[in-house]
Amino acid sequence: MFKRFQLHTVLGSLLLLILLLPEANAMPVFARDYQMSCTTCHSAFPRLNEFGESFADSNFRLPNWKDNSVVTGDDMLALAKTPPVAFRAQGFAQARDAEAIDVESGETTEVDTDFQSPYLIKLLSSAPLSEHITYYFYAIFAEKGGNGETIVEDAWFSHDAVFGSEVGMMLGQFQVSDLMFPRETRLTFQDYMAYRMAGITYDRGTIFDTRAGPLDLAVGLVNGNGIKQNVTINSPGYQRSDHMFDNDTSKSVFGRIGGDIGPVSAGLFGFSGQQKNALTDHDNEIYAGTGSGNRDTDKNIVGLDFNGKLGNKTYWFAQALWNEWDGFIEADQTYDWFGGFVGIDYIHSPRWAHSLLYNYADAGDLENTDTIYEGIAMETLTYTASYYFMRNVKGVIELNADLQSEVDKRGTYWTGHLSNENYLLLGFDAAF
């Protein structure tokens, strides 16, 4: 396992060198503005093709982007002729072979069938603001049954030539894992679980990126505590109500070096930051690591990612992440664990796309901690068939098989893989 000083050396070198911008969700607003089909950028929405990746690299614009601006006679004003908005909606029905088990009591609830509609409703918007600045955001109006709340996830400004250089910058809220494989463009309902387990999804910060010969280089800083934590500031004397989006004083640094090796694209990713320790205090009704403490603990990650294309219809991709969590549970112990995934997308025809996704994680040193983090261990195989009624409307059939053996309760609490989680999902996914 890598040592912390080695990771800091790698990231320090990246800082000297200075990601592709995270690929966006399916955005019909671009099709409207430029009067082109969704297939220009997507091999099968939301998966991007080569042109779509180039469009993202070009700060989400074509050379004629000004043709879609209002003629105001003011060279310092660029406004889209129509509001640049789009929507995405998903609805599913799901049958599961699973159980929900209470961590403390072991009480079991059968999980059989569920109507999950609406599963998600999003509003998306993006447009160029100047020759070099673009904005992008989306807001979720309903997700996973959470009606009545609005959550903003991706939301950022990007500048593709900072101070006239060849260095780009993005500032805002984004997924750190987008440096490797954007979760929002996957064809499966099943997630890239290693990213969620490692805690490198949504966060707030900045990324600098450039290209050096055959290499894509990126380095970034984020708060390191996701997008839900903040601290209210009330200054003495005059009461100033404000919020710090970071609930501690540290920042996490991360970076990626990527390039092509023949027909294969590969990348090396590194992350170094901190996270709060897991609490296991029974007296305070915090069981099996279900709460967070106030102690800052070091978190380091090294990742390798690979992807390529076979012929004109088959895309493949693979991710490996080695994680080191120092003092996460016991202050004097280091916890190492591994996670990753492998996937194949086959675009059979304009109507059909097929996907296979294999998720794997070994809980490693977290395995016998009698905490919920034993549940990091997983092994699943997911098959997804997508039928496109239209370019932007598809039906989804997905079957997930849990390949990991069930385990018996081994400690004080009901943790670990106590129940299999197979499911069948059917539904619709549309962007308009």
Beta strands 231-234; 393-402: pairing state: unpaired
The predicted-structure confidence for 256-281, as pLDDT tens digits, reads as follows: 999 999 999 999 999 999 999 998 87
Please provide the DSSP assignment of 85-121 as one string: EEEEEEEEEEEEEEEEE-TTT--EEEEEEEEEEEEEE
Backbone angles phi, psi at 330, to 5 degrees: -90, 135
Residue whose tokens read 């109006």: 141
Query: How many residues are listed for the chain in this entry?
Result: 432
Percent with pLDDT over 70 in the chain: 85
**Higher pLDDT, residue 296 or 44:** 296
Over residues 293-305, the mean pLDDT reads 94
pLDDT tops 50 at residue 108: yes
Nearest to residue 99, comparing CAs of 88, 87, 112, 90? Answer: 112
* Nearest of 281, 382, 251, 270 to residue 323 by alpha carbon: 270
Q: Provide the 10 A C-beta neighbour count for residue 368.
A: 12
Nearest in space to 411 (alpha carbons), one of 360, 375, 379, 364: 375
More confident residue, 230 or 6: 230
Task: Provide the pLDDT for residue 199.
Answer: 95
Coil, helix or strand at residue 198: helix
Categorize the per-residue pLDDT at 31 as very low, low, confident or very high, splitting at 50, 70 and 90.
low
**In 77-96, which positions are buried (b, 16+ CB within 10 angstroms) versus exposed (e)?**
ebebeeebbbebbbbbebeb
Per-residue pLDDT at 188: 96
Q: Report DSSP state, residue 69.
A: B
Is pLDDT above 60 for 146?
A: yes
> Confidence band (pLDDT; 50, 70, 90) for 307?
very high
pLDDT at 4: 45
Confidence grade of residue 282 (pLDDT, cut at 50, 70, 90): low
Report the pLDDT averaged over residues 125-130: 87
Average pLDDT, the chain: 85
- Whether pLDDT at 241 is above 90: no
Q: Is the pLDDT of residue 10 over 70?
A: no
Q: Identify the CATH number of the domain defined by range 4-18+92-116+153-431.
A: 2.40.160.10
> Given a cut of 70, is residue 80 above it in pLDDT?
yes
Q: Please report the pLDDT score of residue 29 as a whole number.
A: 61
Domain ranges of the chain: 4-18+92-116+153-431
Residue 178: left (phi > 0), alpha (psi -120 to 50), or beta? alpha
Q: In this model, does residue 9 exceed pLDDT 60?
A: no
11 pLDDT exceeds 80? no
